[in-house]
Amino acid sequence: MFNTVEAAQKMQDQLISWRRDLHQIPEVGLELPKTSAYVAEKLSEMGIEYQENIGISGIVGLIKGKEDGKTVAIRADMDGLAIVEETGLSFASTNGNMHACGHDAHTAMLLGAAKILNENKDKLKGNIKLIFQAGEEGPGGAKPMIDDGAMENPKVDAVLGLHIGTIFKEIGTGGVGVAYGNLMACLDRFEIKVIGKGCHGAMPDTGVDPIVISAGVINALQTIISREVKPTEPAVITIGQINGGRSYNIIPDSVEIVGTARATSQAVREKIASRMEEIVANITKGMRGDYEFTYTYGYPPLVNDAEFTKGFVETAKKVVGEENIVEIANPTMGSEDMAYFLERVPGTFFFLGAGNEAKGIVAPHHNSKFDVDEDVFWVGTALLAQGAVDWLDTNKLI
C-alpha cells in the first residue's frame, strides 16, 4: 500500500498554491463559475473523470479502483462569503467577497487527496467520489447535489468531510477533532408577524398594540429553552430582527420578528417548531391580536456515525498520532449542510485545527481578518486520502 502521509507532505507547496489561487476568486452561493472552472481544470490535468453542474455549480469526480468494491465519497465546500477582506495577505481577494471560513483550503486539500488517490488507483478496492459543493454558506448546496444524483452511479456507501479553522479551541494546530454522534446543530429560520390595530400613541385603548404583544411573545419563546427542553439537550432560539412602527407617537398595525432556532436533536427541533407557534398563537389571541407564523426547516442536525468515526480515528492515528486527536465533548450550535450527506449514508465530519497564535492567526470564522495556518494542509489531504483508503479496505465487497 502507498504512503499517503509522505505523498501529502511532498504536495505541501502545491496545496498552498491551489489554496492561494482559490482565495483570490471567492464566489458566493450556488453560482461559482470561476471556482468550478478552476476545480474542473485541475481534475482534467490529473486525468480524473468528472461531471459538472451538479446542483448548479457542483462537481463530482470519480476514481475507480482496480478491484470492485464499495464507494466512499469525500466532500469539500467551495463557496465564500460576502465579506470585504482585510487580512493584508499578498494573495487577498479584491472582488468584495472573501474565503472567511476556509473553504478555499477545503477545496485545495480535496484536490490533493484526489491526486494521491488517482495516482494509486491500481491499489484501490472500490471507488472514490470527489464531491466539490457550492452554497454551504447558503442557501445550501448539498441537497441540490444529492437531488441531481451526486450519490448515485455508483451508489455512495459512506462519506467523509472536514472543516478547518478554530471553531473548537481545544484542537491544537494540526490536531484533529472528532465526535461519535451529534456534532452540529440544525439551521432553522422563523418569521412571526404580530398583527394588531394601529392608533394614536396617546389613545392605546382605541387600538391593539402589536409592540406590547411582541414583547410578551419574545419573552415567552425563551421559556421553551429554559423550561421545556431538557437542560442537557443543546438548543437555542435567537431573535435577530424586530421591525415595527415608524413614529414615536403612533401604535403600528403590525410587528415582524425574524430569528433562528438551533438544536442538535431532530426531536427537540420539531418540539421547538411546534411549541413556538402554540405560544405565538395563544399570546397574540389572548391580547386581542392575531399572527402569521412561518417556520422553515433548514440544514438538519449533523450527526456522525459512531462506527465510521471509530475507524477514522484509527486512520488519524497514522497521520497525526493519538496524542493529537481530541474528542469533541460538546457540539457547536453552528450548522453545516454536510448533514444532508450524513443523513443518507454513514460517515464522519472532522475538524482540523489551523489557528496559530505565534503567527497571529487568531481571527474567528466569518471575520474579515480570518486566515488559516497553511502548514497544516498536508495533514488534511493525508487524512482525507487515508480515510478513504482505509474505509474501502475494511468494507470491501464479499
Catalytic residues: 79, 136
- The 3-class secondary structure across 92-160, one letter per residue, is CCCCCCECCCCHHHHHHHHHHHHHHHHHCHHHCEEEEEEEEECCCCCCCCHHHHHHCCCCCCCCCCEEE
Map residue 179 onto helix, strand or coil.
coil
Instruction: Indicate the residue type of 179.
Output: A
Q: What are the distances in angstroms from CA 336 to CA 198, 236, 331, 339?
A: 41, 16, 12, 6
Tell which residue, 298, 392, 314, has the closest CA to residue 350. 314
Task: Output the nine-digit C-alpha cell for 347.
Answer: 460517515
25 phi, psi to nearest 5 deg: -130, 45
CB 279 within 8 A of CB 343: no
Return the SS3 of 250. strand
Q: What is d(CA 167, CA 351) in angstroms, rounded to the nearest whole number? A: 8
Side chain identity, residue 93: S
Angle (CA) 375-17-79 rounded to 5° is 90
At residue 291, φ and ψ (nearest 5 deg) are: -155, 160
Contact 227, 301 (CB under 8 A): no
